[in-house]
Structure 1
Amino acid sequence: MLGRRRNNMLPKRLEGVLLLLFMLMVSNASGAFVGVHVGTGVSDLPSPSDIVSILKAKRIQHVRLVDSDHKMLVALANTGIEVMVGVPNDQLLRVGQSRSTAADWINKNVAAYIPATNITYIAVGDEVLTTIPNAALVLVPALQFLQSALLAANLNTQVKISSPHSMDMISKAFPPSTATFNSTWSSIMSQYLQFLNNTGSSFMLNAQPYYGYVKGQGVFPLEYALFRSLNPNSKIADPNSNLFYTNMFDAMVDAAYNSMQAMNFTGIPVMVTASGWPWRGARNEPAADVDNALAYNTNLIRHVLNSSGTPSQPKNQVSTYLFELFSEDRRTGPVSEQNWGIMFTNASAVYSLAFEDVAANNTDSPALRGMFCVANSSASHSALKQSLDWACGPGSANCSAIQPGQPCYKSDDIVAVASYAFNDYYHRTQTSGGTCNFNGTATISSTDPSHGSCIFLGSTGANGSGNGAASGPVSQDSFASGLQSCWLAHLVVLLPVVLLL
């Protein structure tokens, strides 16, 4: 009798423990993510294993491949990294015209690598309707054929299918409340949205505020494109919804939501499949520089991981793939087109960027580690003096270290003294709009100017790794995450005891 009672109770106890474990793990895994796009137009693209090593080092857990390179899929096996594979535009016609070809594509490029490789999404083509309009008629059939193949392989719950669109698909993106898709593609967009609605997939959007800013020719301030604080007199409002927009990224996402709503589709989430900023451009591309790229991508990561949604969709989080890991020097077009990468192919960083939650209130942002704002040695003494006075005065930089008798004081070297002040100001204010310019007397450098006991904010050296910066307060999310980890650890310890009761 006792034995029967124990056997009857065991499943219930185990069920309760496992249910609690599951709830904690699901809660811990929720929230928007930031991934990275890996292109192939790179002359000296690193090996797949080297690319995966970079992803691991940067703690990147989501990656978008433009194709389904088999060597990359093998290298990504057993890493836990979520992978989006792509059907390139040059394969779209074949897949969209033949159900058997679509099935073969799924078998060779998806089914053959699951579950070792964590493939979760397929991007079918890229900006098809605006770049190869002659293939428009096969876009939806391609989605449907691939979905049927996933269903046949019993992979339809793990792998979702969609197709990335550019902002050019939206006739007039601002104000967002009146945005609509280009009427030329109304029939195809209706079928596409119905497919997403039926399959629980996301609307994929390539949202690039850099292009919005450049094409706007001064209509929108640069700060608006870079997520930087706007002057109270420059608030950008949607006159129809009375919603205020603090950044162009949110306005683009809301334009997509409202365009779908105009076609009577709601509840389809937006996933941004490409967003970034070029770090170098030609002389006629002044907005493409390291300072702006660092600001945009740092603020983008913070914004997405903050899970705050958009003004019209505050509860809808927008997972985003950063464009891109390596600069694609084989891309055509202006200089800026070949310089969007955050990493060089030798695994060194173009600029320091953290893919973790950088919203903590630290004086020295982790995203700026290894980057320094230094005085331009070619600037005149008087210009440097004027900028130095501003940094230590109205700029509120901490200039105590460059006072006489202090470690960074140099009476005969205004470049060194100004560099310390400029760098302190930049590291303290970059996230709220501070720039490394100072009327042309400063520039971004990856060379650490620290020397002796004079440690610059951003230094990663042994003496400057902490920079004396106090840790920010623990957020509720961080506390909850720690509490979940604690409970999980205790449950793992207690599970054998529960099973023996």
Structure 2
Amino acid sequence: MPHPTQVVALLKAQQIRHVRLYNADQSMLVALAKTGIEVVVTVPNEELLAIGQSNSTAANWVSHNVVAHYPSTNITAICVGSEVVTTLPNVAKLLVSALKYIHSALVASNLDSHIKVSSPFPSSIILDSFPPSQAFFNRSLNPVLVPLLDFLQSTESYFMLNVYPYYDYMQSNGVIPLDYALFKPLPPNKEAVDSNTLLHYSNVFDAVVDAAYFAMSFLNFTNIPVVVTESGWPSRGDPSSEPDATVDNANTYNSNLIKHVLNKTGTPKHPGIAVSTFIYELYNEDLKPGPVSEKNWGLFDAYGKPVYVLHLTGSGAVLANDTTNQTFCIVKDGADGKMVQAALDWACGPGKVDCSILLQGQDCYEPDNVMAHANFAFDAYYVKMGKSPEACDFNGVATVSTSDPSN
């Protein structure tokens, strides 16, 4: 993994304002301090057994991983474990007590109104998910789910759900069309209709989220919002067994997902209420075991280079790797030549820009004038600093522009 400060620099450069951690890594929490980024921390599954059996262990965890960092690090929620009922069924019976112990530790620190407590579930716990109105949770999980939903309702928390249309599509044996999984626009006669409610579904994501709402109401819980804690699409897979794990499909899915959430269209059952969603995941995990796709869910590779450029024109700057919105740092018109020379010297010196390409005989020596050389150095520094606007000032002689100075 890149160093935590590099991770945070990437988040800032990409204007990512919400992040979910799969643990409560101390150096990550320190790096996120004073950034304003909203952070969800996680109690790892391997610590659940101890926390679910002991109030004081839970209190220690909260004190070390939350109280010690809050409010400087803007922690807004705690995931207690992840997909516990399917990955660690023997620990599942302690899940609700773990949630309650963590919550009571927050109450003791007066943080319960700022920080929500919940636990992410896989969508596979929903049976008969289409039509959504007939969906219900796997009944064998009711001894865990009913008290858990009761806890979420009483603490005004939300139901955390991992939604993967990629897997729904892969496992459907051709029943689910690819376009329906990828949020591609469908003609009305191709939309799926819930025969009980007559609601029309144009994508798998909405159908799964609504299935969760109906499954909760089946157990008489009707006012717990759903937050999607993971969703995404792999950009590479084994060509024979995972042919739809492609850069193009990953780009289409995540771009459409972002637009769908930001448009606040909501779902057919809850129109106008946006479903908060975390994209899985920031970085590719090249060492992960399993099929090729497992290593390739990231928006960025391990060096922070975008795996693909999201198609996000018109939905605001979500990821700065969108080439439709390229910006450059160049010398301001009419800037004083001596000030520009001083700024160029600084960029190539203390600013640590590699200016060797500007030397005589190198690629960017011509045109040999201070303005052209400064354009190169200013822009290189601006890129290095994640294109943050304050990196393009140089004592007032530089400005951000959409015209490429290298032309």
What band does the TM-score fall into relative to the shorter chain?
A: 0.7 to 0.9
> What CA distance in whole angstroms lies between the structure 2 residues aligned with 1:461 and 1:258?
51
Instruction: Pick one of 266, 276, 293 that aligns with 1:336.
Output: 293
Conserved in 2, the CA contact under 8 Å of 1:352 and 1:370? no
- 2:230 corresponds, among 274, 295, 303, to 274
Tell me the secondary structure at the aligned position of residue 287 of structure 1. coil
Q: 1:140 aligned to 2:102? A: no
Answer yes or no: is the 8 Å Cα contact 2:285–2:302 preserved in 1. Answer: no
SS of 2:227's partner is strand
Question: Equivalents in 2 of 1:153, 1:294: separation in Å?
Answer: 42
Q: Which residue of 1 aligns with 2:351?
A: none
Gaps of 5+ in 1: 1-44, 372-459, 466-501
Higher helix share: 1
- Cα distance change, pair 119–193 in 1 and its aligned pair in 2 (3 A): same
8 Å CA contact retained: 1:277, 1:293: yes
Distance in 2 (CA, whole Å) between partners of 1:201 and 1:357 is: 33
Native 8 Å contact 1:269 1:316 kept in 2: no
Partner of 1:200: 156
Tell me the matched-pair count.
329
Q: What is the CA deviation profile of residues 69-93 of structure 1, one whole-angstrom value per residue up to 9, with x for unaligned ones?
A: 0000000000000000000111110
CA deviation profile, 1:293-350 (whole Å, cap 9, x unmatched): 0000000000001111100111432100000001122333211111100001211100
| Correspondent of 2:204 among 248, 264, 273 | 248
1:225 and 2:181 correspond: yes
1:313 to 270, 278, 300: 270
> Which ranges of 4 or more aligned residues in structure 1 deviate by more than 3 Å?
356-360, 365-368
SS of match in other structure, 2:2: coil
Q: Aligned to 2:51, which of 87, 92, 95?
A: 95
| Cα distance between partner residues in 2 of 1:323 and 1:199 | 27
Equivalent residue number for residue 65 of structure 2:
109
* 1:185 matches 2:127: no
When residues 57 and 353 of structure 1 are mapped into structure 2, their CA distance, relative to the original with a 3 A threshold, is: farther
2:244 to 282, 287, 297: 287
Using the TM superposition, give the Cα deviation of residue 464 of structure 1 relative to its aligned residue in structure 2, in angstroms: 11
**Aligned partners of 1:232 and 1:158: how far apart in 2?**
42
Please report how far the alpha carbon of residue 233 of structure 1 lies from its aligned counterpart in structure 2 after TM superposition: 3.3
Cα deviation for residue 353 of structure 1 reads 3.0
The match for 1:128 is: 84
Query: Please, which runs of 5 or more residues in structure 2 have no aligned partner?
Result: 326-401
2:255 partner SS? helix
Query: 1:137 & 1:366 partners in 2: Cα distance?
Result: 44
Give the distance between the partners of 2:6 and 2:314, measured in 1 at CA. 26
1:228 is displaced (CA, Å) by 0.3
Structure number, greater radius of gyration: 1
2:309 is aligned with what amino acid? S
- How far did 1:370 drift? 7.6
Q: TM-score, normalised by structure 2?
A: 0.77
Identity within the alignment, %: 51
Secondary structure at the counterpart of residue 240 of structure 1: coil
Structure 1 contact 102–142 (Cα < 8 Å) conserved: yes
Task: Give the superposition deviation at 1:136.
Answer: 0.8
Q: CA deviation at 1:192?
A: 0.4
- Residue 234 of structure 1 deviates from its aligned partner by 1.6
Any conservation in 2 of the 1:358–1:367 contact (CA below 8 Å)? Answer: no
Measured against aligned partners, the alpha-carbon deviations of 1:368-423 in whole angstroms (never above 9, x if no partner) come to 5289xxxxxxxxxxxxxxxxxxxxxxxxxxxxxxxxxxxxxxxxxxxxxxxxxxxx
Does the alignment pair 1:156 with 2:112? yes
TM-score (norm 1): 0.63
Kindly indicate whether the alpha-carbon contact (under 8 Å) linking 1:169 and 1:182 is maintained by their aligned counterparts in 2. Answer: yes
Distance 1:357 1:142, change over 3 A: farther
Task: From the superposition, tell whether residues 178 and 248 of structure 1 become closer, same or farther in structure 2 (CA, over 3 Å).
Answer: same
Shift in Å, 1:220:
1.2
Pair 96,269 (structure 1): closer, same or farther in 2 beyond 3 Å: same
Matched residue, 1:369: 323
Task: Tell which deviates more after alignment, 315-324 or 75-84.
Answer: 315-324
- AA at the equivalent of 2:29: L
Q: What is residue 172 of structure 1 aligned with on the other side? A: 128
Superposition RMSD on alpha carbons, in Å? 2.2
In the alignment, which of 415, 439, 462 is matched to residue 404 of structure 2? 462
Q: 1:326 aligns with which of 262, 273, 283?
A: 283
CA contact (8 A) 2:233 2:249 kept: yes
1:230 shift after superposition: 1.5
1:172, distance to aligned residue in structure 2 (A): 1.8
